[in-house]
Amino acid sequence: MISGGGTGGHIYPAISIAQALQDMVQGVEILFVGAQGKMEMKKVPEAGFQIVGLWISGIQRSLSAQNLMFPFKVISSLFKAFGLIRSFKPHAVIGVGGYASGPLLYAASAKKVPTLIQEQNSYAGLTNKWLAGRVNKICVAHDGMEKYFPADKLVVTGNPVRKTILLKPDLKPSAYEFFGFDASKKTILIVGGSLGARSINEFILAGYDRLAASGYQVIWQTGGYYFEEMKRRVINPSANILLKDFVREMQYAYAVADVVISRAGALSIAELMLTGKPSILVPSPNVAEDHQTINAMALVERDAAVLVKDNEAAEKLIDTAFALIEDEDRKRVLSENIKGMSHPNSAKDIANEILKMIA
């Protein structure tokens, strides 16, 4: 059983782990457990896996009537989680963070089922910190996580990413053709995470005319929530700026990108590591414990990415992108360093840890 979700940063690693288990164990049965109403309830079935939803959500940071329901949700989810453990009889239960993994991993550990959690970020999430003392193994993306977890349970595996992200040497010609781009021109890729990013979209919109006049090709992924608004607010559309709600063929986008502007979510960073792309990270200020800045600094301190703070991006982001895309030596150093931090076999390594627990 695999549990967790809420964002793509939790869901896609979970799916990658499940796919690795399928590749390694013939006839393996996998059941996902998510939170009702969250995006995993759609994304997991799209990937071909069964999922069951728990009535669970997080505690609101502000005073909210929803918080009054939290104890009832926890009790309901625990009852259902224990029932799922009894009926499915898993050999192992994996949590990837997110609300639903708390009740399920608690129930599994109480029933002495082997348990493993995977932490994607450089700053441990609340659910995973709470579960750390109960589980058998903890797979992490980065070194130095002993400050959050018992050292004897830790294994550094990196973050699993989609298999399609891997860049093949002969991919570029078809990638340029796919986007209708000119291979002789440089390209900037702008992504804001699986749900989009309001502030990055506003920064790009404000600098749209400068980007259009620069001669660079731009892939601007707004996120589905912001797409129609951004499209409406672009006054003079430019042929060299491709506005997309969501790029499903990300292997093509990474293949043509000379520079990537991105949030600093765990999944985004794992993909940048694997593809070795020179990157400008703009951490979201609206996440728990400012963990995206901590994620970004893990790269910046190793000269593997450039950091632009969200509250400084209006003045600095476009200029920083223009300077980096023309600096071939700087791009080479960033690319080599970020590539050196990648874990290309992460999903398989986590699957091996799972199998070792139940051997």
Positions at the binding site for UDP-N-acetyl-alpha-D-glucosamine: 7-9, 121, 162, 194, 292
Nearest residue to 120 via CA among 262, 278, 294, 348:
294
Residue ranges of the annotated binding site are: 7-9, 121, 162, 194, 292
Q: Are 96 and 33 in contact (CB under 8 A)?
A: no
Closest among 259, 264, 247 to 310, alpha carbons compared: 264
Name the helix (H) or strand (E) containing 271.
helix 266-275
Q: b/e per residue, 321-339, with b = 16+ CB within 10 A?
A: bbebbeeeeebeebbebbb
Burial class (CB in 10 A: 0-12, 13-18, 19+), 48: exposed
- Judged by DSSP in three states, 225 sits in coil
For residue 220, give the H/E element and its range: strand 217-221
